[in-house]
Amino acid sequence: MRAASLIQRFNLSRFLQGDAPSPAPWTLNRRNVYILPTRQGVFFAVTLAVILIGAINYNNSLGYFLTFLLGSIALVAILHTYRNLLQLQLRVATIPPVFAGGEVSVPVILANPGPATRYRLAFADQPFMVFDVPPGRHTTVTLHKPAGARGWQPVGRFILASTFPLGLFRAWSHVVPDAQYLVYPAPAAEERLPQASRYMASLLGDQGLGSDDFAGLRGYRSGDSLKHIHWKALAREQGLLTKQFGGDRSERLWLDWRTLEGLAVEVRLSQLCRWVLEAERQDLEYGLWLPDRLLEPGRGPQHRQQCLEALALFG
């Protein structure tokens, strides 16, 4: 290998920042695993240097030998530390959405295709998570980081490192997976639902869309609120049934962008977000009115998710 090609291969920004995001799975290889001594490693080197000077001074052969033995152990430890990361494969599993200002949990799956256990791996800034990956198996590690701003966020760069076995050297790799997660607006503190909601009376009743009186059972459809599932029937192995409630009227709540006139965009989105959560909590039927999008009234986890997504991606 010529020196020039080595220099070309070594790229300072890659050393400091890692590569561009790349699709899964991410494999650690000789190009993206780096290794440097730790603080303890430097201290160890100084220790050895002092012992060596002593050995030279006293012309002490065993002193020489101990220095060389410890130095060689450190050299071999470099290889072990490096190998501990090599050929590991990383994948990021689906990341559940989070609210802005919160903490995102990134499930990372590490697969070890090699014949040896990878000991004591850790992600930088996640000090309490140290884990092993046995040969031929995989381990899921959940990383936590601040969620960041509203909208789609890239997972970004994280650093997988190991100082195994001696703690004298730290091998690490900047991992930049091609994964992202959705951040909902931060819910505002104000919980009161808007006065602008209208009750829409129905002469015929709403046939199961209201919430007052039990009206009967029907088969479960996805999106039905978990609160309405007839759990006893499920326990009797009659399958999933949804309880239907009827009434003369139902509360149909419009969560309207326009009612928040005069406030900043993000504040408005935060308030709408809080209302969505509150309406869902109270099991109301609600619709969302945004300048660029209209979501018909509905309820249930799926509806809630749609609304929050619309808020997250607004603008």
From the CB of 34, what's the least distance to another protein, in Å? 14
The residue (of 130 and 215) whose beta carbon lies closer to another protein is 130
Residues at the contact surface with another protein, assessed by CB under 8 A? 40, 43-44, 47, 50-51, 53-73, 75-77, 79-80, 83, 86, 113-115, 120, 122, 124, 127-131, 134-137, 161, 163-167, 170
The residue (of 66 and 215) whose beta carbon lies closer to another protein is 66
From the CB of 123, what's the least distance to another protein, in Å? 9
From the CB of 41, what's the least distance to another protein, in Å? 10
The residue (of 74 and 313) whose beta carbon lies closer to another protein is 74
Phi-psi region at 261: left, alpha or beta (left = phi > 0; alpha = psi -120 to 50)? beta
Strand arrangement, sheet containing 158-162:
34-37, 169-175, 158-162, 118-123, 130-133
Phi, psi of 66 (to 5 degrees): -60, -45
Q: Classify residue 101 by burial, with Cβ atoms within 10 Å: 0-12, 13-18, 19+.
A: middle
From the CB of 15, what's the least distance to another protein, in Å? 18
The residue (of 113 and 315) whose beta carbon lies closer to another protein is 113
Helix axes 265-281, 301-312, angle to 10 degrees: 180
From the CB of 256, what's the least distance to another protein, in Å? 47
The residue (of 53 and 201) whose beta carbon lies closer to another protein is 53
With the CA atoms of 224, 226, 228 and 231 taken in that order, what torsion angle do they form, in degrees rounded to the nearest 10? 130
Backbone CA torsion sign across 10, 84, 39, 48: negative
From the CB of 67, what's the least distance to another protein, in Å? 8
The residue (of 122 and 288) whose beta carbon lies closer to another protein is 122
Q: Which residue has the tokens 């470099």?
A: 78
Phi-psi region at 34: left, alpha or beta (left = phi > 0; alpha = psi -120 to 50)? beta
On whether the CB atoms of residues 172 and 164 are closer than 8 A, the answer is no
